[in-house]
Structure 1
Amino acid sequence: MKRVLQCVFANLNFWVGVRWGVTAFILFWNVLAGISQTSIEGTVKDEEGDPLIGATILEKGTTNGTVTDLDGRFVLEDVDEDGTVTISYTGMKSSDYVVAEVNDWNIVLETADIMLDEIQIVAVGYGTLDKKELTTAVTHIDSKDFLQTSSINPMNQIQGKVAGVNIQNTAAADPNAGPSIQIRGVGSRNAGNAPLVIIDGIPGGSLSNIDNNDIASIDVLKGGAASAIYGTRASNGVIIVTTKKGKAGQGLQVNYNGYLATDVVKNIPEVLSPEEFLEKEIARDEGARTDWADKITRATPLWYNHSLALSNATENTSYRASAQYRNAEGIDIATNRNEFGARLNVRHTALNDQLEFTLNAAPRFTKEEYTNYGAFSQAIQLNPTLPVFEPDNPGQYAYFAGFDTYNPVEELLNNERGGERKYFSGSATAQWNITKNLNTSVMYAYQNDDRLNYWFSPSNSARSISSNRRGEAERRYDVWKDKVFEWTGNYSLYKRDFTVRLLGGYSYQYNNWEYFRAKNYDFPSDALSYNDLDQGSYLKEGRAELDSDQDSWKLIAFFGRFTGNYLERYYFTASLRREGSSKFGENNKWGWFPGLSAAWRISEESFMDDQVFFDELKIRADYGVTGNQGFSPYQAVKLYTGAGQYYIMGNWVKGFGPGNNYNPNLAWEEAVNYNAGIDFTILNSKISGSIDLYNRESRGLVGNYDVPVPPNIHPQTFVNVGTIRNTGAEISLDVFPVHSEDFEYSLGLVAATNNNKLVSFSNDLYEQGQVYLKSLPSPGNPGPVILMEEGGDIGSFYMFKHAGFDENGDFLIYKKGENGEFTNEKISATGAGDDQKYHAGSGIPKLTASLSNRFRYKNFDLNLYFRGAFGHKILNLKNMYYGLKAFEGVNLLRKAYFPTDHGIQTHQINDSKKVTDYFLQKGDFVKLDVATIGYTFDPIPGLKNLRLYLSARELLTLTRYDGIDPDQVPTNGLEPGVEEKDFYPDTRNFTFGLQLTF
């Protein structure tokens, strides 16, 4: 007991010492700063003399602030006499006031002619900044600027709105499909290219676990200096999502957002009709006349959403609680998504705002029914005279024997495939405001994702019949847990001429995933579906499939950031993160991730006082180092795996052996980022924009490389080798040419270029000259179509150069000479080697752009949103696989036999599939992506806001590509620009929505 008490009081003395040390430091600093304090009180009104309720009064550089009451009055205590106070209100011009120079605090705010005059707060990771303080490339999107469409994932609502961010959903009509997101090009071979997502401060959040109506803003950190604060997870950029909170001064508020939407198929490849099919004698007449695509397509799939939110704020407590119910049907006859989600944000202060507590909780429950994209490729190639059901047994689906041939209606309706998901994300934060300049906080966050997936194929299914089994069933259970603990401390000092902000912190993250899978065959009955796994005969015979796995990893980091400015003219930010990961080898556990950036607000210089063109002009530059640890957590450790069974002393014994080549030097992929930019506002805020130039070099790419055996046990080792470089330019422009009481027109232009190169593939120890990618599928297996090699573009097509056809309709190609250049000599493509191929272009667009046109006439609003991509190629697999007569025994595209008005002419070809640029087409397109018209009713008693809107997506696409919509072809990753053989139809979407505020 004596020893215990000694330890307790020893620690107590330590913490008392810490407290006195902190207190002494604060007092010492205050003495040095010569701080004296006062209180101010007054009113805030608009130009008509009406009080502004809930206007914000904030002492600059501190957490000391308040809001106005119902009469527009405020009292702000403990204000530095040498300080500055900012007063702001939504829709009004914010103003700064030097305390010592103001005698009358009865403030009148002017109406903002254009929303650019308002303060725009931008999340930058572990804090926020006013937009004018940014020194690096960060794009802020407010929720009011989201595209108003029916979308599961919120990123689809900002598609094309952020320069350099490619958001693509190749199956937008599938409610269970999510978008691919890529920022500033491809940065990795094997560690992933997806950005880090932060939701309300929680890293690694799921964008599918959020109601779009709960989002207040999305900030995209593109510059390396901004992302460096997140270390080994930030080389592909960072997306910060901030949800809505209860606002002081607004009182009790109820919001409802609902919509009803439907999809209409836009483009299904045109195949031979039953009559044309029989005329060409492709196969025998089976008696039916079946439009297979029509049979597996829903006529009017419905999406509907109901979102309800309740928010309020008192003197000490603010909250916002929301709930959502959403149901969405796919364009095919099987897909469905049904979900319920909720979110609660609570903030409470105590002890005169010295203590602040924040709670966030977001559960979501989802039931999903999946499809098989191969059903639509079957709908193209199936004999149109085959029946859906057996003619002699109308209750039995028709069974088709043959390679890669099945009844797509039976595949989608007779088999069960789906899943259930229970997701929870929550955090609790406690903050101690030691002084108005100094605070410290701790946060604990927890995420849990439980997924149960199931599959059942009954005894009468085509799968069971072809394999001579009485059904098959599978269940899989995945559990993902993520825990985060973070401590941060902030100190800020604002004087008349300079501002200093200091951040220090510690972060710990633990991530664990595990799963169990069981599969069995041959069941006595179909009645219990996938809920009767133990009754299958394969389990009794020892042939059932059982599998389980578990992965976990940890991150520990220490970080700090300095932000300062002088005269609100010269800005500087420096950050440093020291981070360690359990994924790395024992010789490279820890890494340094620095970030430096600076900006010069030229418009604040005295020599700019007499000019009237620039309202704001700022140049900035930044440098940052980020990392990527998105690979398996056990690549750097010794693994043991099963090595067969051995008969020893009359018993079978399971053997184990080394499963990999141990690499103690494995480290993160390192991205070195440079960015230079300019921000401007001109002509009395009529035009504003940003221009950025960037260079990102990803080094130490992870991948498997060939090594000699022996001395190695295995022929490949996972190592850091290679460099990818991305360079490009980005521009964002907002123009407000007309702004009056009754009519407004504004436009927004976003454009970005990207040039992507594989700089190196080898080093002194490991060598890899070329890697072939994207091998085309059966039947025929024509081979790979993309080649990645040093000095070349990522996503470069490698194929023969088309030279026409011979008299038999077979492919001819141009022959290469000894110097590697093409000659005029034509040779047959059959039997030609890879030495006759060339780099025929890239599947990655050189330029992406969007144009928003926003109109308002009195209570009506209209938004026309255009988007496009240019400078890339697409390999048309539909033409290659279904446009050639040599593809025997199946239905084909009409163009296989008949000339078309545009695009590739394949009716003249009798040859089989060849990897030739004849099937390569320009992927350029411009589309009217979203058109929205709305009407906002005048306020009525008891109803603050009522708005109706009608939105349409994918109305018009202009392109010379003759396949599916080129926007549906993947352009992210290492294998871009290939139209998949299996696909999900592109659609037009129509949404009717209602927004209410009480």
Structure 2
Amino acid sequence: MKRIKLLHFLALAFICISMQAGAQQRTTLSGTVTNDQQEKMPGVTVKLKNTNTGTVTDEQGRYSLPVTASEGTLVFSFLNYATQEVAIGGRSRIDIVLKNEESKLDEVVVVGYGTLQRKDVTGAISSVTAKDLENQPAMTLEQLMQGKASGVQITQTTGAPGGQIEVRIRGASSINAGNEPLYVIDGVPYYNGSQDPDGTSYGTTTPTNALASLNPNDIASVDILKDASATAIYGSRGSNGVVIITTKRGKAGGMRVNYNGYFGVQQVVRKVDVMNASQHAAFLNAWAAANNNPIPFPHPDSLGKGTDWQDEIFRPAVMQNHQVSMSGSMGKSRYYISGNFYDQEGIVINTGMKRYTFRANFDQDISDRLTVSETFAYSKTDSKSVPINGAGKGNVRSAGERALLTSPILSVYDSKGEFNTVPWYGATKFENPVASLQTTYGNLQRDNVTGNITLSYKLLDGLVAKSLVGVNMTNTDNKEYYPRSTTYIGGVLGGLGFLANRRVSNVLNENTLTYSKVISKHKFDVLGGMTTQSEKDFSATNQPTLFPDDRLGINNIDGATGVPMVSSLKTQWSLVSFIGRVNYQYAGKYLLTASIRADGSSKFADGHKWGYFPSVAAGYRLSEEKFIKQLGLFDDLKLRVSYGVTGNQEVGSYQSLPRLVTDASYIVGGQLLSGARLTSLANRDLTWEESKQLDVGLNASFLHSRINVGFDYYKKRTENLLFSIDIPATSGYGSSKALFNTGSLYNRGFEVDLSAALLTHDFKWDLSANFSRNKSVLTSLGESPGTTTLFVGYAPGTKLGQVYLGVFHDQKEIDAYGLQPDAKPGDMKFADTNGDGKFTGDDRLPIGTPMPKYIFGVTNTFSYKGFDLTVFVESSVGRKGDDIDLLNDPTDLTSNKYKKFVNIWTPENAETATVPGPGVSNYSYSTFDIVDRSYFKLRNIRLSYTFPHSLIPFLGSTAVYLSGENLITISDYPGFDPETGSVGYPTTKTVVLGLNIGF
């Protein structure tokens, strides 16, 4: 009976619960969502908090949602709008107004000497935020910028830690003057030229990147100014574009402490497919036979694979990075302080770099009118290096050359376990690569101090005076030693040492007035000011030889008995400038910007020192027109057009003056006296190189800024090119050069930028992409004589060569072709390009494409709850460059070769050969040496997880991440990397595991 009663009770309870649940399920909430402009909002997510129950609003902003709890909470969310939570409170209808958060249109963009909201920008500007740069294994800013901005081509010319990186904004604008952009770091302009002392006179220079001293983790934003409207305010230094870098500063609030660190492993991106020992021995046999010499290797197959020098020289290398930062405010003071340690082993044995940085940024509101801002940064880099480029013409080879050109026939060690010193057949300037790399000493240390202090005083409402004083001081030491026992150049000279020091100091003073005023529908921003900047540069070198012993090396130069090469050099330059700019708006619809800068530079001749660089830009915000608003399509639609003139002063000092050296000796009165002699002609007309640029742009934003598109078309013509021209020997100046203004260069192209929030709910998908196409053409050489690398109508760097058609397999092919009767079987077949029925030197054409036809980058970011996955790919297409190192030369027997030379022409392989024979008698630079350097790279892939605060309540934001760099490279290029080439220092692929903790 009790069991029956219990069953009855449970049944009754179940019925009551079911009735209650049914009543709750029948409760339906509805309403309408609008924004603060009273516009109805479709696509808004409406969810019952802490449940999976949810919906989205329809085209009229309406929603209907069945709920099971009258006391629950609704959550309304939409991209670029503040998320709102509303208690249901038993209601059946809830209408909500969402407030717009700061959108991309309201982002602040840093321009020259000021800031603007993006919607008010009339120039072509690309921006990279701190979020785009974070949690990636890179030492320098340029590496992180690759593929992130349209119109910006960044080429990593070497994989060496801290090595130089080439940046081109809208193509190269000069031939012999600088082509790097101007960098403005916290208001202070820098030109990223090498500040290292020169290496030895035998080609051992190992230039590094001056920006390697800047810690990327300290960067808050990067704004890249590309058109003349944006860059003309920098006048004589704006023709190559301007990169404005803003470092992090403190914000109001309590102290925030952050740690970011990672450990990683690097490997060479890919190995080069070269001959093994038996294959190279067969090649050397064929070469000897073709030249009627005895066969050096009777049984080449017995040698097997031999030594893989790439495996011997390259290694997996570790890297680590640790940063601690503190930021916040105390009263009216705001601060950001950081310390960083970065340590990267090189993938080449006996190389690597360490960097130590410290930064302190302070802002103090002295009163309601006066604000003082201070920036201070110190960095020290310490690198172990080897020569990067093969500048020594075989006397000193780069790491890549040693790994690829050394014959695999040679072994690392001999039978006694000592380094092998027996060269292979045909070897000249021999050295054992492992022995030479391990025993060569190369150490470069740089100390860099930068800082500035800014006073900003509000004179009147809208009128602000600002004064900035900034300094940048660099001290660099370079020490090198090449042992006589293990290096070729050291053996020739009895040991080669090198000591060098270079000190560079740069001082800047800027004084500006800005006035802002709104009168009805008119808005004015006026800027005026004066700046001065000067730089002093001193270097000294000492190159001793004939050391008594290798063991002490550079630490025993007093024991060196050779006559040392000693030199010193001091240069300086100064720049005085006046600037002015007006930004005008009418009704938020019509935009006008006009600027002018007058620069006076000490680098140019008297009467030509001053240059004037004006610009004007107009913008029309079509989205403010009623007929555009009625379409209901655009959040913003802006048409831009600009025109301006910029300059280039990046040439050496004293180029307009006659220069003397004091190494001359004269006989006067029967006595030998020291004297001076002229080494260069004066150019009293030397003046500015000018770039005139037209830009037409369009920006559009859709779907509440979920989709943003930008398009720019530009034409840039550089005139009065600064050309270094050979002086005839009959002038008495030998083979020296002089700088002249002559010729013109033309760049034309277009750029497309896209950003889109494709999915915006729990699973988010953000896409950003950019595409750039640039064509560079030399339009005039002016008074400059023709060369083999400069041709009117072609891009600079295009070379003169033959068109290669293949191999003459036998005499019948030579006779049938008829145009090369002197050729032999195995020789190269060339085209009659001018159609005159004969093959001559006149058939040479400009060949190769030194710059890519287009570049693009695409970033996809996927987010789900605490997980974030970022995939970034980058590509360069259409570049075709030469590959004329010894790997590709069939006439050379001193070095190893690409594996394609296995199929070299020989009498036994005549019918199937694809490569000219080792005895080729007509080898000439041609399309045989041109290779496709296009590539597609998985530049970065990063997976991170941010722990929920409830899991670690005593910490702030905490995340762990796994990041990979350069993991996949797709290219037909046969060398290490299509970016760097097949010699030099290879690039790396890297995987790191990192941790980011906030307190």
Tell whether the structures are fold-level matches, with TM greater than 0.5: yes
1:348 and 1:889 map into 2 onto residues whose CA distance is 67
Match of 2:269 among 261, 266, 271: 266
Do the aligned partners of residues 248 and 641 (structure 1) sit closer, same or farther apart at CA in structure 2, a change above 3 Å counting? same
> Could you list the per-position Cα deviations for residues 500-552 of structure 1 after superposition, in whole angstroms to 9, with x for gaps in the alignment?
111111101011111010121223444443233222112xxxx2111000110
1:322 and 1:165 map into 2 onto residues whose CA distance is 29
Q: For structure 2, list consecutive stretches of 5 or more residues without a partner in the other structure.
A: 1-45, 48-77, 84-95, 192-209, 286-295, 389-397, 811-824, 906-911
Give 1:564-575 correspondences, 5 Å limit: 564-575=584-595
Match of 2:533 among 504, 509, 516: 509
Match of 1:521 among 545, 559, 572: 545
2:857 and 2:543 map into 1 onto residues whose CA distance is 48
Counterpart contact for 1:884–1:907, Cα < 8 Å = no
What code does the residue aligned with 1:178 have? Q
Larger radius of gyration: 2
What code does the residue aligned with 2:314 have? T
Q: For residue 397 of structure 1, report the CA deviation from its aligned partner.
A: 6.4
In structure 2, the partner of 1:811 is 828
In structure 2, the partner of 1:776 is none
Q: Does 1:790 align with 2:792?
A: yes
> Could you list the per-position Cα deviations for residues 658-707 of structure 1 after superposition, in whole angstroms to 9, with x for gaps in the alignment?
33222222111111111110111013322101100111111101123467
Q: For residue 906 of structure 1, report the CA deviation from its aligned partner.
A: 4.6
Q: For residue 868 of structure 1, report the CA deviation from its aligned partner.
A: 1.2
Counterpart contact for 2:790–2:799, Cα < 8 Å = no
What code does the residue aligned with 1:997 have? G
Q: For residue 280 of structure 1, report the CA deviation from its aligned partner.
A: 5.6
Match of 1:641 among 652, 661, 677: 661
2:281 and 2:598 map into 1 onto residues whose CA distance is 70
Q: Does 1:693 align with 2:713?
A: yes
> Could you list the per-position Cα deviations for residues 879-908 of structure 1 after superposition, in whole angstroms to 9, with x for gaps in the alignment?
xx32555432543332211499xxx98546
In structure 2, the partner of 1:194 is 180
What code does the residue aligned with 1:155 have? E
Counterpart contact for 1:248–1:313, Cα < 8 Å = yes
Give 1:867-882 correspondences, 5 Å limit: 867-877=874-884, 881-882=886-887
In structure 1, the partner of 2:314 is 297
In structure 2, the partner of 1:761 is 781
2:82 and 2:645 map into 1 onto residues whose CA distance is 36
Q: For residue 378 of structure 1, report the CA deviation from its aligned partner.
A: 2.6
Q: For structure 1, list consecutive stretches of 5 or more residues without a partner in the other structure.
A: 1-46, 49-89, 96-107, 773-786, 970-978
Q: For residue 985 of structure 1, report the CA deviation from its aligned partner.
A: 2.3
What code does the residue aligned with 1:154 have? L
In structure 1, the partner of 2:43 is none
In structure 2, the partner of 1:72 is none
What code does the residue aligned with 2:477 have? L
Counterpart contact for 1:277–1:891, Cα < 8 Å = yes
In structure 1, the partner of 2:250 is 246
1:711 and 1:895 map into 2 onto residues whose CA distance is 49
1:332 and 1:636 map into 2 onto residues whose CA distance is 43
Q: For residue 843 of structure 1, report the CA deviation from its aligned partner.
A: 1.9
Counterpart contact for 1:93–1:109, Cα < 8 Å = no
What code does the residue aligned with 2:457 have? W
Give 1:417-428 correspondences, 5 Å limit: 417-428=442-453
Q: Does 1:924 align with 2:911?
A: no
Q: Does 1:429 align with 2:454?
A: yes
3-state secondary structure, aligned to 2:435: helix
Q: Does 1:230 align with 2:231?
A: no
Query: Which has the higher mean CA deviation after the structures are superposed, 312-321 or 373-382?
Result: 373-382
1:700 and 1:109 map into 2 onto residues whose CA distance is 60
Counterpart contact for 1:164–1:752, Cα < 8 Å = yes
Give 1:353-502 correspondences, 5 Å limit: 353-373=368-388, 374-392=398-416, 394=418, 402-463=427-488, 466-467=491-492, 469=494, 471-502=495-526
Q: For residue 236 of structure 1, report the CA deviation from its aligned partner.
A: 0.4
Q: Does 1:545 align with 2:555?
A: no
3-state secondary structure, aligned to 1:388: coil
What code does the residue aligned with 1:257 have? N
Q: Does 1:915 align with 2:925?
A: yes
In structure 2, the partner of 1:66 is none
2:243 and 2:961 map into 1 onto residues whose CA distance is 29
Q: For residue 293 of structure 1, report the CA deviation from its aligned partner.
A: 1.5
Match of 1:859 among 863, 866, 881: 866
Q: Does 1:737 align with 2:758?
A: yes
1:557 and 1:359 map into 2 onto residues whose CA distance is 23
What code does the residue aligned with 1:943 have? L
1:462 and 1:360 map into 2 onto residues whose CA distance is 46
In structure 1, the partner of 2:22 is none
2:655 and 2:82 map into 1 onto residues whose CA distance is 53
Give 1:26-41 correspondences, 5 Å limit: none
In structure 2, the partner of 1:657 is 677
Match of 1:894 among 889, 894, 899: 899
Counterpart contact for 2:276–2:307, Cα < 8 Å = no
3-state secondary structure, aligned to 2:924: coil
3-state secondary structure, aligned to 2:119: helix
Scaled by the length of structure 1, the TM-score of the pair is 0.80
In structure 2, the partner of 1:41 is none
What code does the residue aligned with 1:947 have? A
In structure 2, the partner of 1:62 is none
Counterpart contact for 2:904–2:917, Cα < 8 Å = no
Counterpart contact for 2:710–2:752, Cα < 8 Å = yes
What code does the residue aligned with 1:987 have? T
3-state secondary structure, aligned to 2:795: coil
What code does the residue aligned with 2:265 have? T
Do the aligned partners of residues 579 and 383 (structure 1) sit closer, same or farther apart at CA in structure 2, a change above 3 Å counting? closer
Do the aligned partners of residues 906 and 405 (structure 1) sit closer, same or farther apart at CA in structure 2, a change above 3 Å counting? farther
Do the aligned partners of residues 94 and 180 (structure 1) sit closer, same or farther apart at CA in structure 2, a change above 3 Å counting? farther
* Percent of aligned positions that are identical: 29
3-state secondary structure, aligned to 1:789: coil
Counterpart contact for 1:92–1:109, Cα < 8 Å = no
Counterpart contact for 1:559–1:577, Cα < 8 Å = yes
In structure 1, the partner of 2:205 is none
Q: For residue 126 of structure 1, report the CA deviation from its aligned partner.
A: 0.5
Do the aligned partners of residues 706 and 269 (structure 1) sit closer, same or farther apart at CA in structure 2, a change above 3 Å counting? closer
What code does the residue aligned with 1:419 have? L
1:488 and 1:93 map into 2 onto residues whose CA distance is 37
1:906 and 1:147 map into 2 onto residues whose CA distance is 48
> Could you list the per-position Cα deviations for residues 189-247 of structure 1 after superposition, in whole angstroms to 9, with x for gaps in the alignment?
11110000000001116522221110000000001011111111111010000000001
1:129 and 1:746 map into 2 onto residues whose CA distance is 25
> Could you list the per-position Cα deviations for residues 44-95 of structure 1 after superposition, in whole angstroms to 9, with x for gaps in the alignment?
xxx99xxxxxxxxxxxxxxxxxxxxxxxxxxxxxxxxxxxxxxxxx996599
Do the aligned partners of residues 814 and 280 (structure 1) sit closer, same or farther apart at CA in structure 2, a change above 3 Å counting? closer
3-state secondary structure, aligned to 1:230: helix
Q: For residue 914 of structure 1, report the CA deviation from its aligned partner.
A: 2.5
1:690 and 1:278 map into 2 onto residues whose CA distance is 58
> Could you list the per-position Cα deviations for residues 626-649 of structure 1 after superposition, in whole angstroms to 9, with x for gaps in the alignment?
110011110112322235212334
Q: For residue 713 of structure 1, report the CA deviation from its aligned partner.
A: 7.1
1:996 and 1:905 map into 2 onto residues whose CA distance is 61
Scaled by the length of structure 2, the TM-score of the pair is 0.80
Query: Which has the higher mean CA deviation after the structures are superposed, 314-323 or 956-965?
Result: 956-965
What code does the residue aligned with 2:150 have? A
Counterpart contact for 1:671–1:697, Cα < 8 Å = yes
Q: For residue 133 of structure 1, report the CA deviation from its aligned partner.
A: 0.8
3-state secondary structure, aligned to 1:593: strand
In structure 1, the partner of 2:119 is 132
> Could you list the per-position Cα deviations for residues 134-161 of structure 1 after superposition, in whole angstroms to 9, with x for gaps in the alignment?
0110111111122642111112112011
Q: For residue 861 of structure 1, report the CA deviation from its aligned partner.
A: 0.9
Do the aligned partners of residues 92 and 278 (structure 1) sit closer, same or farther apart at CA in structure 2, a change above 3 Å counting? closer
In structure 2, the partner of 1:727 is 748
What code does the residue aligned with 2:954 have? G
> Could you list the per-position Cα deviations for residues 697-738 of structure 1 after superposition, in whole angstroms to 9, with x for gaps in the alignment?
111011234678999978854221111010100010112121
Counterpart contact for 1:196–1:237, Cα < 8 Å = yes
2:171 and 2:134 map into 1 onto residues whose CA distance is 24
Paired residues, what number? Answer: 846
In structure 2, the partner of 1:121 is 108
3-state secondary structure, aligned to 2:973: coil
Q: For residue 447 of structure 1, report the CA deviation from its aligned partner.
A: 0.6
Match of 1:339 among 334, 346, 355: 355
Match of 1:216 among 220, 231, 255: 220
Match of 2:943 among 911, 914, 933: 933
